[in-house]
Every structure is written in C-alpha cells, then in structure tokens.
Amino acid sequence: MHIAGRLLILSGLAIALVGLILHLGWGKIVFGWIGHLPGDFRIEKENFRLFLPVTTAIILSIVFSLILRLAIILHD
C-alpha cells in the first residue's frame, strides 16, 4: 500500500504541473505536438469530424508505461 500512496501523490503533482502549464498559457508550446503527429488521422467533412490520434496514443502509452516501470524498479 505504501507504493500506492506514493503513486497517488506523484500523479497529483503531475496533474497539478500540467494544469499550471495550461493556466499560464504555455500549453501550445509544451503540448503543441499532441494530435499533430504523422499517424494521427483527421477527417473533416461538411457535417462530420473524426479525429483518431493513433500515434499520439501509442507514444503516451509508452511514456506512461516507462514511468510506471521506473516507479516499480525504484520501489524494489
């Protein structure tokens, strides 16, 4: 249970940091690449919009997996 508490605290700090970045208006600079990578599909028709951020989802999944793996390794 000790690791769960640390993970919750670190998650809260990360969310607060992202919120601060967005609040200060730096969101476009820091997160501007999200959704604009090759492999992120955007289909726009007259009455229809579809956005599939495939590449962004894969990259974010890898990053979060590495962070969690690092937390587990540091705990042991």
Q: What stretches of the chain adopt beta strand conformation (E)?
A: 40-44, 49-53
Q: Answer with the residue of higher pLDDT: 72 or 34.
A: 72
Number of folded domains that form the chain: 1
Residue ranges making up the domain that contains 47: 2-75
Record the tokens describing residue 45, joined without a space: 């028709």
Q: Which candidate, 24, 50, 56, places its Cα nearest to that of 38? A: 56
Mean pLDDT along residues 30-59:
86
Alpha-carbon separation of residue 12 from 25, 37, 64 (angstroms): 20, 27, 14
Confidence of residue 49 (pLDDT cuts 50, 70, 90): very high
**Average confidence (pLDDT) over 54-62:** 90
pTM score, whole prediction: 0.62
